[in-house]
Structure 1
Amino acid sequence: MVKQEKVKVKPLPATIIPPTSWVKYFKEWHGLKFPVITCRPLGRLGNLMGEYATMYSLKRHYNVSVVMNSEFKSRIKHIFLNTSLPDIPASAGPFQLQDWTPVQNIGSLYNYAPIELAAAGLLGPKKFIMKEYAFEMQMFHQFREELKKEFTFAPNYTNKVNEFLSNIMKNRSSQLPDPVFVGFHIRRTDYKKFVKNKFGGHLPGTSYFTRALTHYRTKYPDAAVFVVASDDLQYARAELQQYQDVYFSQGFSAGQDMALLSSCNHSIITLGSFGFWTAYLAGGEVVYADVTTKHDYRFSRKSFEKFGLDYFIPLSVD
């Protein structure tokens, strides 16, 4: 198997507005200095994590007041223990969406410059709410280790993960080397149509799966053990159940699958935000599908190299 050469790309700067251009205000809202930023929780778990990471990085880069509203917190609090972004002050009363000024992408799908303008104080002393799936990798990547702590899973998730991986180890022959766990996420269902219609691309299939498995089997002979999770387990089983080194998640919940895959040593991902986060949290090497799309796609070779994710390894899908 031949690994595709990586093109040298100069990573994007983390932020676009230098400190010399920031505007600071003495005006406050319930003890928080303006501007104040929150986020509307859109999408499923992978999107929510991207939105949270973007908020977190805004706070770290711009030293701006960032808070979680009740709607956002209710979507993630049962999964992650250590999220440090504060709640909206109780003195502010119930969260009312109409009281916040929306900021979102402008001009193109992935141009979220307005949220940085807001964080830098250039849009005035207001309360802002991020919309439209903010997922600013170039901003949050330098805080990766901090985000891994932010996304610490609750014990009910980690206990099930430990039980699952322990059972695999018990079932392995003592003659085999210690397992190297490779998380493998396969995104399907609605994403097939979404990628085709929105980006002019296609989901990877059998050829990519075989190539990715071979990559790790070659690198870790008799040690590679693949842990597969998918939003279409029936499809994943049909593709991979013939292999003795492949084990399947029980698919209890998205949170459980995220906890399981992110506990592995290395990763294989297809497309989508969920797979990205399983690999980003896991560490180790990440093999991803080197897809071709007609329009810019966030989880692609162009983006990963532009954002400086050097441990993400492209693999052909053909």
Structure 2
Amino acid sequence: MFKFASAYGLARFHRCRFYLDEPYMKILNATFTINITFLNILKSEYLTLSGIGYRDNTACHYSQKLMLPNSIRYLELTGYWQAYRYFINYTDELRQQFTFRPNIIQTIAPFILQELKGRILCQPTCIHQNQSNITLGNIETTVKDQLDLKNKLRELPFTLVGIHWRRGDMMRPNKQAYGHTVSSFTYLQKAMNYFLEKYTNVIFIVTSDEKNYCKNIFSNNSKVIITPDKFTGEQDLAMLTVCQHTIVTSGTFGWFAAYLAGGDILYDKLSPAKNSGLERDCPPSQYYPPEFIPMRR
């Protein structure tokens, strides 16, 4: 997603076209409604090009030189390209490109709408029915597409905050030696309190690569909904992007969930580890846009 976004941003900035290799297009199109026909060149045309320059960006370093007039003729991107400034001016367009396919949205909608439906009736920790014009019968759990689901969620008397808590692979010794960190529960509590103090009727939607761990941690928290184990990565990402705000731990999954969702975005200031190889390769100032809010654990 970062590489596509950077290529898209560079093409739009320089008013040129770009070619997305078929395997990449197939992967992206399986999840999103990508439409780059106004920018794309055909494979037959791409194969006739000569003098292509290759530029590797293995992490998050931004090159101002690439943004100079006439700095690009033919350029092929390799590596990760995780520097937001290549594409930040085209956020609205990229959110449109990264719109989830209706079949993915239609599989997550019944889950989240039913969960919220159950919180509207009067319970000690829930919202009393007379506090809202919403009634159980009015909540339709079938949707057409992503916009339809977002509109339905906005009509409900809740503030939805997505959390992606990445743990699994980040706990490997080689990952930690490089500078990857696992955000603590203390950080999440502090970030959650930020939203509880700022907004009303907050519900947290938690996704993770260790959902059983999350279930144990949040077992007594009625304000937390954890997505089902059967949800795929695509479904979890879609769930986060229809929330109004986001709490980010580490990894690009949470970064893009927050970028696509918008709203208030909190991230762990202690990720990556200070003075680590990852911090040198991926400086936070070039990885996190200014609207992402740093928060210490």
Q: Same fold (TM over 0.5)?
A: yes
TM-score by length of 1: 0.71
Deviation of 1:134 (Å): 0.9
1:197 aligns with 2:164: no
AA partner of residue 150 (structure 1): Q
Does the CA contact (< 8 Å) of 1:83 and 1:151 recur in 2? no
Judged with a 3 Å threshold, the aligned counterparts in structure 2 of structure 1 residues 301 and 131 are, in CA distance, closer, same or farther, namely: closer
2:293 is matched with 313
Superposed structure 1 runs of 4+ greater than 4 Å apart: 85-88, 119-123, 297-301
Secondary structure in structure 2 of the residue aligned to 1:144: helix
Deviation of 1:82 (Å): 3.4
Deviation of 1:255 (Å): 1.1
Secondary structure in structure 1 of the residue aligned to 2:120: coil
Judged with a 3 Å threshold, the aligned counterparts in structure 2 of structure 1 residues 114 and 210 are, in CA distance, closer, same or farther, namely: closer
Q: Distance in 2 between matches of 1:115 and 1:67?
A: 21
Aligned pairs for 1:80-119 (under 5 A) are: 80-84=32-36, 88-92=41-45, 101-105=53-57, 109-111=59-61, 113=63, 116=66
Aligned pairs for 1:47-196 (under 5 A) are: 49-84=1-36, 88-92=41-45, 101-105=53-57, 109-111=59-61, 113=63, 116=66, 122=71, 126=74, 128-175=75-122, 176=127, 178-193=157-172, 195-196=175-176
- Which ranges of structure 1 fall in alignment gaps of 5 or more residues? 1-48
1:247 is matched with 225
The count of residues paired between Structure 1 and Structure 2 equals 257
- Which ranges of structure 2 fall in alignment gaps of 5 or more residues? 132-156
Identity of aligned residues (%): 23
Q: Aligned Cα RMSD in Å?
A: 3.0
Q: Distance in 1 between matches of 2:99 and 2:171?
A: 30
Judged with a 3 Å threshold, the aligned counterparts in structure 2 of structure 1 residues 73 and 142 are, in CA distance, closer, same or farther, namely: same
Does the CA contact (< 8 Å) of 1:273 and 1:299 recur in 2? no
1:286 aligns with 2:239: no
AA partner of residue 8 (structure 2): Y
Judged with a 3 Å threshold, the aligned counterparts in structure 2 of structure 1 residues 76 and 188 are, in CA distance, closer, same or farther, namely: same
Deviation of 1:144 (Å): 1.1
Deviation of 1:91 (Å): 3.1
Q: Deviations over 1:222-261 (max 9, x none)?
A: x111111011212222222221111111242111111100
Q: Distance in 1 between matches of 2:195 and 2:283?
A: 21
Query: After alignment, is 245-254 or 225-234 more displaced?
Result: 245-254
Secondary structure in structure 2 of the residue aligned to 1:267: strand
Judged with a 3 Å threshold, the aligned counterparts in structure 2 of structure 1 residues 172 and 219 are, in CA distance, closer, same or farther, namely: same
**Higher relative contact order, chain-length normalized (CA < 8 Å, sep 6+):** 1
TM-score by length of 2: 0.76
Deviation of 1:300 (Å): 7.1
Does the CA contact (< 8 Å) of 1:266 and 1:279 recur in 2? yes
Does the CA contact (< 8 Å) of 1:265 and 1:283 recur in 2? yes
